[in-house]
């Protein structure tokens, strides 16, 4: 088992969102480390459910974070100006519930949350129904 506490982030590969999200997760969840799983436009991939190879790759990486590092929270991130999901904020926010359902279907029993990172790279928690 790893030393310290962990959270997991499924984030875009876009380097502009990495540090703000890591710092937010560390502060919000009082964890020492954040395992980062990156894909271009992960919210779209998880919501659409078409790219089974990418989805399975993300699932395997979440499994390692949860089972080997003891992560208890998985955070999904959408952001402004996403090259991998070049749609409006409203569309991305609409995709989040379907993406979270995909992650929930993996059955890890962890806390799930979603974040929106705006054009100023400020992190906002996305309310869930």
**Is residue 120 included in any domain, yes or no?**
yes
Residues shown for the chain: 129
Percent pLDDT > 90 in the chain is 96
**Is residue 1 included in any domain, yes or no?**
no
Q: The CATH number of the domain where 49 resides is what?
A: 3.40.1050.10
Helices (H), the chain: 15-29, 42-48, 52-69, 89-105
**What's the Rg (C-alpha) of the chain?**
13
Give the structural domain span for 27: 6-126
d(CA 76, CA 73): 10
CA nearest to 111, candidates 75, 63, 69, 82: 75
**Is residue 63 included in any domain, yes or no?**
yes
User: What pLDDT digit, counting tens, does each position of 110-126 carry?
Assistant: 999 999 999 999 999 99
The total domain count for the chain is 1
User: What pLDDT digit, counting tens, does each position of 14-42 carry?
Assistant: 999 999 999 999 999 999 999 999 999 99
**Is residue 41 included in any domain, yes or no?**
yes
Query: φ, ψ for residue 47 (rounded to 5)?
Result: -75, -40
């Amino acid at each position: 088992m790893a030393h310290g506490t962990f959270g997991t982030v499924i984030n875009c590969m876009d380097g502009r969102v990495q540090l703000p999200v890591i710092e937010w997760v560390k502060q919000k969840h009082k964890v020492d480390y954040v395992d980062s799983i990156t894909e271009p436009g992960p919210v779209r991939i998880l919501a659409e459910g078409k790219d089974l190879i990418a989805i399975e790759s993300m699932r395997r990486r979440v499994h390692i974070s949860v089972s080997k590092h003891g992560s208890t929270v998985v955070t999904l991130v959408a952001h402004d100006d996403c090259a991998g999901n070049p749609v409006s904020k409203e569309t991305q926010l609409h995709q989040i519930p379907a993406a979270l359902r995909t992650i929930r279907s993996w059955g890890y029993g962890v806390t799930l949350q979603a974040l929106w990172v705006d054009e100023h790279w400020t992190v906002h928690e996305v309310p869930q129904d």
